[in-house]
Amino acid sequence: MADTATLYIDGQWVPAASGATRTIVCPADGTEAAVVSEASREDTERAIAAARAAFDSGVWSSVPAPERGAFLLKVAARLRERKDEFAKAESADTGKRFVESQIDMDDIAACFEFFGRLAGQQAGRIVDAGDNSVLSRIVYEPVGVCGMITPWNYPLLQAAWKLAPAIAAGCSFVLKPSELTPSTSILMMDVFAELGLPDGVANLVSGTGPDAGAPLSEHPDVDLVSFTGGLATGKIIAAAAAGTVKKVALELGGKNPNVIFADADFDAAVDNALNAAFVHSGQVCSAGARLVVHEDIAEKFVDELVRRAEQIRIGGPYDDAAETGPLISAAHRDKVHAYVQAGIAEGARVRTGGRFATDEDGEGLGSGIYYLPTVIDNVLRGMSVVVEEAFGPTVTVETFADEDEAVAIANDTVYGLAGAVWSQDAGLAQRVAGRLRHGTIWINDFHPYLPQAEWGGFGQSGVGRELGPMGLSEYQEAKHVYQNTAPAVTGWFADHSAK
């Protein structure tokens, strides 16, 4: 396929109808990563029509679920074979360290494997109708045509969380990856085609949200829209979807608390606080961007956190010494910096970082889009740096005196995606975990997830769940089939003309 024919519609690689293209630039060094087609509304509507026709034909939805599961297992195997190819493409688009992209590919393969195994286990259930002449059962059917809009921070991982269950359920779909990071999604369509997914079941359009993405939430032929991204965009998508009352699944990020009690394993808690805040330069929806630490250890803990943060090595995908990478774009880096500056204006204190990285901070950094790991203390609840999601390498510090105050601080957010509790008191940790209003709670850890465990948030972190059995259910409709094997006249309405 040509570089400028990278839309995948009805089993064909095609250019954008307008001929428009976009150059993808690696944020680590400004080099060209790819040239791809830039879709418009017209292209997306063609993709929707192809998905609709494929679904209505039954070409995939009528395939037995175990066979759909077997297909997903083949996808996983092919991903493992092409792991480095995919990882290189991911790192070129995002600037992420190559080793991190390799880990992502393993996680993506595991996701396809999980849903591949799960697909054949959803046979429905029998309902006891209280009458031996009635056969009553619940069956699960594909929701139909799915629109999928995915972010730039984990491009293929976030897509896989949608693609795998949709395929397992028997849906057809249109995927719109971020216009900044489409390369691995394009490669994914190549795998689907190679392994024989019928034409029209999988479709891809790359382009901006207003142009390529908007029809997926508005169009009456789309039955479900699944979006991962920012809160403001999620609200727009939910409002647009309401016009046709389609199913909506939204994962909208978080402002995630990392609660450290005084009895926590100090070294492990500090180390994990760094991971929580600065992995992938904080461009993680579940990043532990709010450090909530007991006042008895706060000074010592933050001093050590600052010392360690200043040692973090930043660099490009193939810098073996690098521990984290660039931000996705100059515009995003400017937003992160404005967030830090707003905190300073409100009285917060930057303990370390708080500025763009330059060549003085590391060789070659000046050619990329880097921001220093940043620790902000002297903050109060309600400050913008505490309330707003920076989505960058920043962490704020709040302190608490007791359990109740820790819970109150941790729950003081409109979001509710994830959080952590650090304590060697198992009862305390479990008690606090039970009180936190977040979709995932880690105890004495931060960031791991499992494909078999549901992922999603409370509050304005979104609606619906990805992964786990509920992740498959998002792409299904439940139908009740009630069969009377001994039909008879009810006599409820009399036949008054009868003689």
Is 251 an annotated catalytic residue?
yes
> Would you mind telling me the total number of residues written for the chain in this entry?
499
Burial 318-340 (b: 16+ CB within 10 A, else e): ebeebbbbbbbeeebbeebbebb
Query: Three-state secondary structure along 111-148?
Result: HHHHHHHHHHHCCCEEECCCCCCEEEEEEEEECCEEEE
Cα–Cα distance, 438 to 254 (Å, whole number): 9
The catalytic position among 90, 100, 113, 251 is 251
As a whole number of angstroms, the distance between CA 363 and CA 316 comes to: 10
Name the residue with tokens 């992420």: 96
Of 308, 295, 72, 34, nearest in space to 168 by CA: 72
CB 316 within 8 A of CB 322: yes
Contact 228, 151 (CB under 8 A): yes
Closest CA to 332 of 403, 280, 273: 280
Q: How many of the other CB atoms lie within 10 Å of CB of 187?
A: 16
Residue 401: DSSP 8-state: S
Burial code (b: 16+ CB inside 10 Å, e: under 16) for 410-445 equals: bbbbebbbbbbbbbeeeebbeebbebbbbbbbbebe
From 94, 289, 66, select the one nearest 183 (Cα to Cα): 94
The owner of tokens 């790359």 is 206
Provide the token pair at 113.
């494997």
* CB-based contact 414:376 (threshold 8 Å): no
Phi/psi at 215 (nearest 5 deg)?
-60, -25
Residue 455: what are its φ and ψ, rounded to 5°? Answer: -130, 130
Residue type, 408: A
DSSP state of 58: T
Helices (H) then strands (E): counts for the chain: 15, 20
The helix/strand/coil state of 264 is: coil
Q: How far is CA 325 from CA 183, 389, 390, 454, in A?
A: 19, 19, 16, 28
The residues annotated with a catalytic role in the active site are: 251
